[in-house]
Chains A and B, each alone.
Chain A
Amino acid sequence: MKKIFQIIIILTISFFSAPSQATENIQQVIDRASEKCREAENLGFEWAYTREMIQSAQKALDAKQPNIAGPLATRALNQALNAIKQAKYAEQHWQDFIP
């Protein structure tokens, strides 16, 4: 009986802690996307809608909608990383496009 009680307690804790773990993970992605977006901006290669996407993700997360916030944050992070990649490529190859 004691064991069953313990299991119930563990399951209850894990049930309630699961969303907060997800929230924490999404927040980490948003923070990283923000950081990378700033890096892209400093390089002069920020994309048009990355910042908006980060703001929307944060808004959704604050409204406890992780299913919306998660994909948005991931897309924003991908955009920011691609913008940095683009900047580095341009730095090395811009002369190649001179006809």
Chain B
Amino acid sequence: MKKLLLMLAAVGISFLAGCNSSEQNNTKSDSEKSDKVLDVKVVDDGSGHQLIDFQQQVQQDARRFKEFYTARAADVDAKDFNNGVYAIDPDSREQWQEIEEFPPYEFAVDEGKQLFEHPFPNGAHYADCFKKGGIGIRQNFPYFDTKTNRVITLELAINDCRILNHQLPYEYGQGDIEKIAAYMSFTSKGKVFNLSVPNQAAYDAYLAGKKFFYSKRGQLNMSCENCHMGAFGKMLRADMVGPAYGHTTSSPIYRAAWESIGSLHKRYMECNKNVRAKPFALQSEQYRNLEYFESLMSADLTMNGPSSRK
């Protein structure tokens, strides 16, 4: 009887200990989660002032982001993720490679070159608005402009150039602006993203983009993360869902569904509509911040835009 009581006591203690340890585990995982957002790296600027190292902060996020995909698709060369779903789906890749033999965006690139080289009425060119004459610089976009405190995308910079030269800005999303963007991207193929997070305001923009990416929205209550991380590599109806890692390297894209070249933001709008959320405007602050976040997460990949997608 005494033994039985002792056994019951032992079982009771181990049960309670188990509960306690599982609580600790939960607490640990919660703190791990908050670490991913709030763990701030502090550096000394040399004069005794403590500064937050935003760049390191973001690089840490990017490392985790990449690890997620490389773990899920271990047999895929990490550099290949800039090809989106074609990196992971051999059947789709085969079709895509056939399409890329006669790229449907070729005309857009040619027309973009003509538009890019055509002078404004004042004699200035697009080349005058960009570093290195606008050739081979796509990898520097989007960047955070510390003067205006906003994320500048390539499309925004093209329109800023037009306004500077007394021209009406193009409509965003498709048409001439995307043809010029396609040409500029074409001249940057193979270059690795060259992005930075220079200050607190830039980090705030990055965090806003990150928050957008992970926030569920719309009547279907779905986030970017739900499809492009959670369902990555799985089928949604007849299509396999591609990774978010490498999303921004290939823009602008020629989509078969659009039958024309279009911007990344146009795709963002479509995604938002698909989950029955009211989309934001093209080149809105929300989408620019999202592009900034996604680009920083793909910062070690090479430019391969323009590219064709389904």
The answer to whether A47 and B278 touch (CB under 8 A), given A79-B219, A97-B223, A98-B33, is yes
**Measured CA separation A82–B217 after assembly (Å):** 10
Q: When the two chains form their complex, are residues A94 and B215 in contact, meaning their CB atoms are under 8 A apart?
A: yes
Q: When the two chains form their complex, are residues B278 and A99 in contact, meaning their CB atoms are under 8 A apart?
A: no
Q: When the two chains form their complex, are residues A45 and B214 in contact, meaning their CB atoms are under 8 A apart?
A: no
Q: When the two chains form their complex, are residues A46 and B33 in contact, meaning their CB atoms are under 8 A apart?
A: no
B216 — which chain A residues lie within 8 A by C-beta? 86, 89-90, 97
Q: When the two chains form their complex, are residues A48 and B217 in contact, meaning their CB atoms are under 8 A apart?
A: no
Q: When the two chains form their complex, are residues A45 and B277 in contact, meaning their CB atoms are under 8 A apart?
A: yes
Q: When the two chains form their complex, are residues B219 and A47 in contact, meaning their CB atoms are under 8 A apart?
A: yes
Q: When the two chains form their complex, are residues B276 and A99 in contact, meaning their CB atoms are under 8 A apart?
A: no
In the assembled complex, B189 has its CB within 8 A of some CB on chain A: no
Residue of A with least CB distance to B219 = A47
Query: Per-residue CB proximity of A48-69 to B under 8 Å, as 1/0?
Result: 1111000000000000000000
Q: When the two chains form their complex, are residues B211 and A94 in contact, meaning their CB atoms are under 8 A apart?
A: yes
Contact of B277 among A47, A51, A95, A97 (CB under 8 A): A47
Which are the 10 A-B pairs with shortest beta-carbon distances? A90-B215, A46-B278, A48-B276, A97-B214, A94-B214, A94-B215, A95-B37, A98-B36, A47-B219, A94-B211
- B residues neighboring A (CB under 8 Å): 33-34, 36-37, 68, 211, 214-219, 221, 223, 225, 229, 272-273, 276-280, 286
